[in-house]
Amino acid sequence: MSRFSPANLRLAQEIIRRYPVAKSATIPLCHLAQEQDGYLADDSMAQIAELVGCSSAEVLGTASFYEMFKMHSVGKFCLGVCTNISCQLLGGEELLEHAEQTLGIRPGGTTADGLFTLEDVECIAACTEAPAVQVNYRYFHRLTPQDLDQLIEELRSGALDGVVPAHGTLGKVRQDLGEDRIANITPPEDQTEPVWLRRHRELAEAAAAADAGTPSAVGNDS
């Protein structure tokens, strides 16, 4: 049975068609599955394997390498506090400790109400806005412990639902690259020279031949 919903299955097939080699779609499809279910389920990985043409062990092998894929359900909000250098210098580690106390969990843990999973994360590219936090990968900058408490409160009350979607949701806008749009998918075995390059090469060769006073070399294989 399909773990993907019919709409997501269609989307998965469209995503696969963008790549010259289907297996390249593995990570985007794992994201799609996680977006649908909030985590990456075993039967999703089995279905992805079937779709991209590899074994489900290979999909697990790939997915387990990457931090973002969760193999079991996590809180509605994944709260990642950056403790890397720029944030550490401005109180990131203390902020994480504060979050542990407020939520009553350690990094990696989920609150009993299933709302929050806390994470001690590496640099999230917001270093000038330290200490920085992400909630389901949406940014919050320069937080004091009080700001963090307020943020947690607002998340809990649903006040930020429009800003922070549920865990697993990535970009709310998708690239629209259906079959009618794609210009060309070139698999590695298709070894033709792109037309605009060929045109310019032939022009250059003809010009060189004219300069040398010889007939055009175009088409001469020797």
Partner 1 sequence: MIGTVTPASKMAEGVPAVVSSRFGVPDGHTLAGYTSSGSYKGYEALRQVLEMSPAQVGSVVKDATVLGRGGAGFPAGVKWGFCPPGVWPRYIVVNGDESEPGTYKDRLLMERDPHQLIEGCLIAAYAIGAAQVFLYARGEMPHAHERLAAALNEAYAAGLIGKNILGTDFSVDIVLHWGAGAYIVGEETALIESLEGNRGMPRLKPPFFPAAKGLYMAPTIVNNVETLANLPWLFNHGVEQYRSVGTEASPGTRLIALSGHVNNPGIFEIPQGTTTFRDLFESEIYGNGIRTGHELKMFIPGGASAPWFFPEQIDLPLEGRLIGGQGSMLGSGAVVVMDETTDAVRAALRLVRFFARESCGKCTPCREGTTWEEKILQRILDGHGRPSDIDLLLDVADNISPGPYPVAADPGNDLEAIPFPPRQTTICPLGPSSVAPITSAIRRFRHEFEAKIVQRDLISVSSEPFTDLPEQSSLAHGAVGHV
Q: Which of 63, 66, 53, 43 is nearest to 23 (CA)?
A: 53
Using CB distances below 5 to 8 A depending on partner kind, what does residue 212 bind out of partner 1, ligand FES, none? none
* H or E element that contains 196: helix 195-211
**Minimum Å distance from CB 84 to ligand FES?**
4
Q: Which of residues 102-131 bind partner 1 (CB under 8 A)?
A: 107-109, 119, 122-130
Pairing of strands 133-135, 116-121: unpaired
The answer to the question of residue 82 lying near ligand FES (CB under 6 A) is yes
Question: In this structure, what token pair is assigned to residue 200?
Answer: 């310019």
The CA distance from 44 to 64, in Å, is: 14
Interaction mask 173-212, partner 1, x per CB under 8 A: xxxxx---xxxxxxxx-xxxxxxxx-xx--xx--------
The answer to the question of residue 84 lying near ligand FES (CB under 6 A) is yes
Residues that contact partner 1, how many (by CB under 8 A):
89
The answer to the question of residue 85 lying near ligand FES (CB under 6 A) is yes
The answer to the question of residue 124 lying near ligand FES (CB under 6 A) is yes
Residue found by looking up tokens 């390498």 in the block: 65
Give Cβ neighbours of residue 118 (< 8 Å, ≥ 6 apart): 79, 81, 96, 99, 100, 103, 105, 106, 107, 108, 109, 110
The answer to the question of residue 133 lying near partner 1 (CB under 8 A) is yes
Contacts with ligand FES by CB under 6 A lie at: 82, 84-87, 123-127, 130, 132
